[in-house]
Amino acid sequence: MKKRRLGNSNLEVSAIGLGCMSMTGAYGSVVDKQDMISLLRTAVERGVTFFDTAQVYGPFANEELVGEALAPFRGQVIIATKFGFKFEEDGGAPRSVGLNSRPEYIKQGLERSLKRLRVDAIDLFYQHRVDPQVPIEDVAGAMQELIQEGKVKHFGMSEAAADTIRRAHAVQPVTAVQSEYSLWWHRPEAEVLPMLEELGIGFVPYSPLGKGFLTGTINVDTTFASTDLRSRIPRFTAEARKSNQALVNLLSAIAERKQVTTAQIALAWLLAQRPWIVPIPGTTKLSRVEENIGAAEIDLSTDELHEIDAAAAKISILGDRYPEELERMTYK
């Protein structure tokens, strides 16, 4: 697989990464742990070197899965994880109860992430959401200390506003920013992407396939289990899906012409936006991993990119991308 460097850093990863959140049931699917371990290991064999997890996925179960699956590949892969949520366990299953990016809490969480991931250092440690109660300079300072101690290699931020990223970067250089970005969510283009280009920071789009919608496999008749996070997302109501199908139809027409898949066009479009963008589509199926990897070999011409952008600009996407309580945590 082709490689990409995240900004001006020395962190080089596969052009397509793998988001692991769904491998512990986030989309309501029943997943077998051994199947997911096999999937992760096969992804490495296919050339994927960049894997994304987080403390809050599960919570903790996703880090444990990734740690076990990738243990045989130490030194060959880059594992990114995230801090910033507060957890309560109360003797039962752990659950997130808001945000906490106090330096001492970050450091406690880091030690546990190291054990779950079975590593001596975190390759890329993102602040999952900006904590309004903790100055970002304090968070960046804690990252600086952990990097100096050799427990973290690179500092990242997720869903942060441009000014907050800039302030953090002034204290401890930020290697990568992760935020949602795709043909149906363009917000990073306004302020974040220009600022990342200026500062030499890499960008990692999550949900690059619109949580599955841009693959063309979801339509107005699709039903979502109550455990599937999309059942709570306004953009996935039946009315919104019916309206938003126009974007999928556009991608499908171009995909048919190029004899590739709709998902591959959506990923190829992202890769064409900047050379330091590395999308992390998630899946629980090997066939989708292979399909996504194939997107790295697709070159969209300038004319094709103009065609996609012009047509997409005429389509109004219906529905918010998150429930209100989750959206309030973003772009702080």
Instruction: Using the predicted structure, report yes or no on whether residue 302 has a pLDDT greater than 90.
Output: yes
In a domain, 282, yes or no: yes
Contact 212, 231 (CB under 8 A): no
Instruction: Please give the structure tokens belonging to residue 231.
Output: 């059942």
- Structural domains of the chain, count: 1
Instruction: Please give the structure tokens belonging to residue 297.
Output: 């070999």
In a domain, 325, yes or no: no
Active site residues: 57
In a domain, 315, yes or no: no
- Average pLDDT on 304-321 reads 96
131 φ, ψ (degrees, to nearest 5): -95, 110
Residue labelled with tokens 């990242």: 156
What is the model's pLDDT at position 52?
A: 98
Q: What is the CATH number of the domain that holds 205?
A: 3.20.20.100
Q: What is the dihedral of CA 150, 156, 157, 161, to 10 degrees?
A: 120
In a domain, 262, yes or no: no
Model pTM score: 0.98
Residue of 225, 230, 193 lying closest to 215 (CA atoms)? 230
In a domain, 237, yes or no: no
Environment class of residue 223 by beta-carbon count within 10 Å: exposed (0-12), middle (13-18) or buried (19+)?
Answer: exposed
Structural domain of residue 45, as residue ranges? 3-210+276-298
Question: What would the pLDDT profile of 38-52 be if each residue is shown by its tens digit?
Answer: 999 999 999 999 999
In a domain, 90, yes or no: yes
Sign, CA torsion 195/198/200/202: positive
Instruction: Using the predicted structure, report yes or no on whether residue 28 has a pLDDT greater than 90.
Output: no
In a domain, 64, yes or no: yes
In a domain, 232, yes or no: no
What is the model's pLDDT at position 111?
A: 98
- Average pLDDT on 134-161 reads 98
